Structure 1
Amino acid sequence: MIRKTMRIGEVRTSIKLETEFWSYLKEVADQRGIRLSALINDVAAATPDRTNLASTLRTFSLVHARLRSSTLQSELERLSLAGNSNDLARVLEACPLPSLLLDAERQIKQLNRAFALWLNLDPKATLGKRLDNIMILRGPNMKEMWSSLVDGRLGRAGFNATYVSPGKVRTCQALAIGLGGGQADPQRRGYVVMFETLSGRA
């Protein structure tokens, strides 16, 4: 947790947030061409009935990230693995949410920086591992759901994912999106998985 002090309106205020949230808020402020304090004042002014500014900023970050991710999801769904690897890598890295590219066996073919930072993983050491060996995956009929993604009967599906390590538990909702291939060419099909979290906390 990092504490920052800034003036909110006429009041000097201390705000404590996780590093991931400060980083994301700074990114949003930079994109808008304003200072971080100006962005936080904008959020505060738009939510006059708030009881906790830190909680409001977390909510703003998650909603902003999900809206941004919805746009990226639409772009991802237009990509296939064949001939679009550069575009796929660009879109995946641009996603503000932790994201992976998997094959049909759920082996990790690509991960973005947000995923590596979220779980504090070495990207090179993580490539090639099965997601099941890193996280606990749960969902109604998980096996059937994944089979439906692989054979193209489903275009997207949601499930729960939990990461456990000494002193650390990360639980979140995940969304898997099928790309390319499908029933016509399942060997060229890939799957992007987005984890709906910024802080990585349950």
Structure 2
Amino acid sequence: MMRAPQRETAKRSVMIAGHRTSVSLEAEFWEALQEIARGRGHSVQALIGAIDSGRGERNLSSAIRVYVLSAFRGTSEVSESPLTDRVGIGQGVQEPSGRVGEA
């Protein structure tokens, strides 16, 4: 049996509630997260903060993947209403190259 090719993951630094942390996701999930954020008029950083606040015991990368899957299925676990301002949200997402990307 052939195994599916491994997807490359991209690790990015994000600021959540005033603390910097790294998130590793496949490029396709980063792209989908950007698409969802754009469509809702939010930054990726704010969307990650909202996902983080509602993730419970699940690790952040897994919570983001489940959120993206739910959003594309139309069963998003996180409200589509405007996100409230939180400390550390709205700052840039650091790309692997070290530059700050659109958040």
TM-score bucket of the superposed structures, by smaller chain: 0.5 to 0.7
Q: Which runs of 4+ in 1 moved over 6 A?
A: none
RMSD: 1.3
In 1: Cα distance, 2:24 partner to 2:16 partner: 14
Partner in structure 2 of residue 57 of structure 1: 64
Shift of 1:53: 0.2
Partner in structure 2 of residue 106 of structure 1: none
SS at the partner of 1:58?
Answer: helix
Instruction: Choose 1 or 2 for highest CA Rg.
Output: 1
Greater strand fraction, Structure 1 or Structure 2: 1
Q: What's the TM-score, normalizing by structure 2?
A: 0.61
Gaps (5+ residues) in structure 2? 1-8, 76-103
Task: Determine what percentage of the aligned residue pairs are the same residue.
Answer: 34
Shift of 1:9: 1.1
Greater helix fraction, Structure 1 or Structure 2: 1
Gaps (5+ residues) in structure 1? 69-202
1:40 equivalenced with 2:48 (yes/no): yes
Alignment of 1:147-158 (within 5 A): none
Asked whether the 8 Å contact 1:50–1:56 carries over to 2, the reply is: no
In 2: Cα distance, 1:34 partner to 1:61 partner: 15
Alignment of 1:37-186 (within 5 A): 37-47=45-55, 49-67=56-74
